[in-house]
Amino acid sequence: MKPNYPDRIHIAHLPTPLERMERLSKHLNGPDLYIKRDDQTGLATGGNKTRKLEFLVADALAQGCDHLITTGAPQSNHCRQTAAAAARAGLGCTLVLRGNKPAQETGNFLLDELLGAHVYWTEDRDRAEVITKAAAELQAMGRKPYVIPLGGSNVMGATGYVLAMQELMEQLAAQHINVDFIVFASSSGGTQAGLVVGAEVYGFHGHILGISVDSPAEELKMQAAALATATATHLGLGMLPLAERVEVNDDYLGGGYAIVGKTEREAIKMVAQLEGILLDPVYTGRAMGGLIDLIRWGAFTRGQSVLFWHTGGTAALPAFADKLV
Ligand SMILES: Cc1ncc(COP(=O)(O)O)c(C=O)c1O
């Protein structure tokens, strides 16, 4: 069972480090904790989107497109990395950001501007409507836009995380580590979909647990399972038992998407001060907060190993300064 991978461009710094979190493991007195540093994938400050964009940008180039359009929240990491990938590939970039232009240019929005992206704010309009309008304007100017969905989560984007699982399995074998759980922040489901396909292909037998950042568990499970199936089909893998491997915990939604509370604050400070590793306020802070809580509740036994897959996002930290200190 070998995936038939489409072409990709090589913009990510791979393999990302796999590290043991010795001091955090000791502090929490629970399972052995490891971290996969996808906050170090390169481009403009790293994160999970770089792996997705290797395939998405290659597809755009193969289709003769000269401009990327994508969408996200005002502090979207996906949008910032898309702007950076466009710059690297010599393509134009339009970002459709939700809501109104903030008073201050900070965090990812500041970086979007520095990276040369053209930004539209949806204000009270529907996201899809603004994307369609932006694409039509570009076409009228003789450009050929390529639209990347929210979070880069389609079969092309998810493919980046199928390949990431191969990378992890090689590292685990080389370092003689057995991982029982992979825990990470899950939102549009592309990372999770890719990981479960990769687990089937490369023989990872542990749990793959997404901590939902914004959706009810059942909704995200269905979304990630459907994308996993579509990705496996796209890679020529045939029928795999994927849906049962998609595990989601939605206990840490707190006040909603991007509402930073005690869970995120505690996790960010704990990992920063014990490991010297920065998490982000929206995704990895919440996912790590969930993992810390699960450890405290005894969800894992001593002797088990848990790998936290760091998916990036630290460029958003300054935009949440008033909620973090
Ligand atoms: C830092 C970070 N972590 C996790 C995610 C979630 O990844 P996915 O959308 O593939 O579920 C995102 C998505 O924007 C992100 O920016």
Dist. CA 169–CA 303, nearest whole Å: 20
What is the per-residue pLDDT for 54?
98
**CA 249: distance to chain centroid?**
16
Mean pLDDT (whole number) for 218-245: 96
pLDDT confidence tier of residue 24, bands split at 50, 70 and 90: very high
Q: Where are the alpha helices (DSSP H) in 144-260?
A: 155-174, 190-202, 217-234
pLDDT at res. 289: 98
CA distance 186 to 224: 9
pLDDT at 222: 98
| Contacts with 265 (C-beta within 8 Å, 6 or more apart), sequence order | 285, 323, 324
Mean pLDDT on 84-90: 98
pLDDT confidence bin for 238, thresholds 50/70/90: confident
Domain pair 18-47+154-324 / 49-152, same fold? yes
Pocket flag, ligand 1, residue 280 (CB < 6 Å): yes
- Mean pLDDT of all residues belonging to the chain: 97
pLDDT in tens, 187-229: 999 999 999 999 999 999 999 999 999 999 999 999 999 999 9
Report the share of the chain in percent with pLDDT over 70: 100
| Atom 9 (ligand 1) nearest CA | 188
Residue 274 confidence (pLDDT) above 90: yes
Distance 153 CA to ligand 1 centre (A): 9
Model pLDDT, residue 240: 87
Q: In terms of pTM, does the model score above 0.95?
A: yes
Distance (angstroms) between ligand 1 centre and the Cα of 61 equals 24
The whole-number pLDDT of residue 50 equals 98
CB of residue 191 inside a 6 A radius of ligand 1: yes
Domain ranges of the chain: 18-47+154-324, 49-152
In angstroms, the CA 11 to CA 81 distance is 11
Residue 313, ligand 1, Cβ within 6 A: yes
Residue 154 CA to ligand 1 centre (angstroms)? 13
CATH assignment of 49-152, given 3.40.50.1100, 3.30.70.3420, 3.30.70.1140, 1.25.40.340? Answer: 3.40.50.1100
Q: Give residue 127's pLDDT.
A: 96
Atom of ligand 1 nearest to the CA of 316: 1
Question: Which CATH number is correct for 18-47+154-324, 2.60.40.10, 3.40.50.1100, 3.30.43.10, 3.40.50.10490?
Answer: 3.40.50.1100
Cα(164) to ligand 1 centroid in Å equals 15
Nearest atom (ligand 1) to Cα of 193: 10
Whether 189 lines ligand 1, by a CB cut-off of 6 Å, is yes
CA–centroid distance, residue 186 to ligand 1 (Å): 6
Write down the pLDDT at residue 1: 78
Distance between CA atoms of 234 and 21, rounded to whole angstroms?
Answer: 36
What is the per-residue pLDDT across 152-191, written as a single tens digit (0 to 9) for each? 999 999 999 999 999 999 999 999 999 999 999 999 999 9
- The closest-lying atom of ligand 1 relative to the alpha carbon of residue 72 is 14
pLDDT band at 280 (very low <50, low <70, confident <90, very high): very high
Active-site residue numbers?
A: 76
Atom of ligand 1 nearest to the CA of 311: 3
Residue 6 in this model has a pLDDT that exceeds 90: yes
**Ligand 1, from 97, 155, 311, 314: best to mutate by most atoms within 8 Å of Cβ?**
311
